[in-house]
Chains A and B, each alone.
Chain A
Amino acid sequence: MSSAFSWIRALPALAALSAGLMGLALLFSFFIAPEDGDQGISQRIFYIHVPIALTAYFCFGLGAWKALLLLWRGEERHDLESYVAIHQGTIFGSLTLITGAIWAKASWGVWWSWDSNQLVLFLTLFLFYCAYFMLRFSLPEGPRRARSSAVYALFGVALIPVSFLAIRLAEDFVHPTTFTRDGPQMTGTMFTAFCVSWAAVTLLAYVLYRVELVGKRLHTDLRELREALE
Chain B
Amino acid sequence: MTGEEYVAAAYAIVFVFVLVYVATIAAKLVRLQRDTAELLELARRREQA
Contacts and interface: CB of A to CB of B under 8 A. Distances in A.
A40 interface: yes
A116 to B, nearest CB: 18
Nearest to B31: A219
B7 A44 contact: yes
B14 A99 contact: yes
A212 B21 CA distance: 10
Interface residues of A, number: 30
A218 interface: yes
A45 B18 contact: no
A102 B11 CA distance: 10
A230 B38 CA distance: 12
A219 B27 CA distance: 13
Interface in A178-230: 204, 208, 211-212, 215, 218-219, 222, 225-226, 229-230
B33 to A, nearest CB: 10
A106 B46 contact: no
A105 B7 CA distance: 11
Contacts of A102: 6, 9-10, 13
B7 A215 contact: no
A230 B42 contact: yes
Contacts of B1: 106
B18 A204 contact: yes
Given A48-B10, A102-B13, A211 B36 contact: no
Contacts of B9: 102
Given A48-B14, A222-B35, A215 B3 contact: no
Interface of A: 26, 40-42, 44-45, 48-49, 52, 91, 94-95, 98-99, 102-103, 105-106, 204, 208, 211-212, 215, 218-219, 222, 225-226, 229-230
Interface of B: 1, 3-4, 6-7, 9-11, 13-14, 17-18, 21, 25, 28-29, 32, 35-36, 38-39, 42-43, 46
